[in-house]
Amino acid sequence: MTTISIIGSGNMATAIGTRAVNHGHTVELLGRNATKARALADQIGNGTTVGTYGDVPKGEIVIVAVLYDGVVDAVSTYGDALAGKILVDISNPFNADASGLVTPTSAAHEMAAVAPDSAHVVKALNTIFGHVLAKGTPLDAFIAGDSAEAKATLGAFLDSLELRPLDAGGLQAAPLLEQAGLLLMGLARNGAGFELALGAQVH
Amino acid sequence: MTTISIIGSGNMATAIGTRAVNHGHTVELLGRNATKARALADQIGNGTTVGTYGDVPKGEIVIVAVLYDGVVDAVSTYGDALAGKILVDISNPFNADASGLVTPTSAAHEMAAVAPDSAHVVKALNTIFGHVLAKGTPLDAFIAGDSAEAKATLGAFLDSLELRPLDAGGLQAAPLLEQAGLLLMGLARNGAGFELALGAQVH
């Protein structure tokens, strides 16, 4: 059991936080909007706390659960407060109609560029819709990052949530996961519906 | 039951041809190397025939099961013989160490550029390793193409092979499937192993 910190108070923060407490973890919510964070903490319950936005998060794992547009700003604002942390980028840098990506590198690379040198950015959870994640059923979770240790720590946490971590490689694989987010959106829109998550089949 | 034509006589041609005859379809093999095509036809059996390379294929569905490097050449050589056909591009345009793609568009786009105007290019089956496909177990099959009719015809064929067709959208989604091929390779190499195929989970 561990304490994880989540920056954000939207759809994904709710799904991840709820899933975490349901598996015995403690959650700290860090929202720019303290009222919203407080309300979400009450909803998640099970000892969920609200931290001060910008202070050093309690958790070793910090999930940056804000929309892509806010990722760089959030991580920049925290700055050195994120030293040594495992920063999880779950964002999808989609354009307005979700037909393409708006970054020439990846959201994860952009996060890494503004994060402290001692932080470890891992891309994860961007190929699962929040409402699907919220159901609590077992799912595959692709992860990509340069630190094997950070991926092992995050992987163990995901595994505890009944999410099977599947390592896609170094942070250079983050764009592949972001393209996979687009693929998921395309499948959902073209008949498969939004109850879908990408995964891997083993036979 | 239908007749499908397969250009090529390698790993994927073997897997697709075998799976097709096992589900009652008839296969025509079209290989540049007639001896190799003949040997594969004998292996697949069940009435598999060998056509003359460059002649009009018997099948409405023509699976171009050659390596990426040979795709444009094969389709160019066939030229108008492919008029009206559903051309299935299954290739992965990987660079030498499979760390990136070598085309700025997609293999499917390159195929479409040299195919007759009346042909319909569909990207499919590039996120399943040949030896996994050969096992015959149910798998998801992502498809992308501009013709809804061609996708429906191909989808029905794939469905008959116990492959669940999942429409990723128009041909503009072909690059996403090629990136997904890279993702699959990354997952396989980073611990998941090569018995893996990408798929979708519905919950």
- If 0-12 CB within 10 Å is exposed, 13-18 middle and 19+ buried, where does residue A195 land? middle
- For testing contact with chain A, the best of B101, B183, B184, B202 (most A CBs within 10 A): B183
Q: What values do phi and psi take at B145, rounded to 5?
A: -175, 165
Render A139-164 in DSSP notation, one character per residue. Answer: EEEEEEES-HHHHHHHHHHHHHTTEE
Calpha distance A189→A171 (Å, rounded):
28
What are the tens digits of pLDDT across the range A67-126? 999 999 999 999 999 999 999 999 999 999 999 999 999 999 999 999 999 999 999 999
Vertex A173, ends A169 and A174: CA angle to 5°? 120
Q: Does A173 touch chain B (CB under 8 A)?
A: yes
Whether B192 sits inside 8 A of A202 (CB atoms) is: yes
Calpha distance B133→B16 (Å, rounded):
7
**Residues in chain A closer than 8 A to B203 (CB atoms):** 132, 135, 137, 139, 195, 197
What are the tens digits of pLDDT across the range B110-157? 999 999 999 999 999 999 999 999 999 999 999 999 999 999 999 999
For the beta carbon of residue B109, count every other beta carbon within 10 angstroms.
Answer: 18
Chain B: residue nearest A134 by CA?
A: B203
Calpha distance A37→B93 (Å, rounded):
46
Interface of B with A in 177-196 (CB under 8 A): 177, 179-180, 182-184, 186-187, 189-193, 195-196
Residue A203 is predicted with a pLDDT of 57
Provide the 3-class DSSP secondary structure of residue B60. coil
Q: Which domains does chain B have, with CATH numbers?
A: 3-192 (3.40.50.720)
- Splitting chain B (203 residues) into consecutive groups of 10 residues, what average pLDDT does each group show? 95 98 98 95 98 97 98 98 98 95 97 98 97 96 98 98 98 98 97 95 71
Calpha distance A177→A168 (Å, rounded):
8
What are the tens digits of pLDDT across the range A28-38? 999 999 999 99
Helices first, then strands: H and E counts in chain A: 7, 9
Nearest CB partner across the interface for A176, out of B139, B168, B186: B186
In this prediction the ipTM stands at 0.95
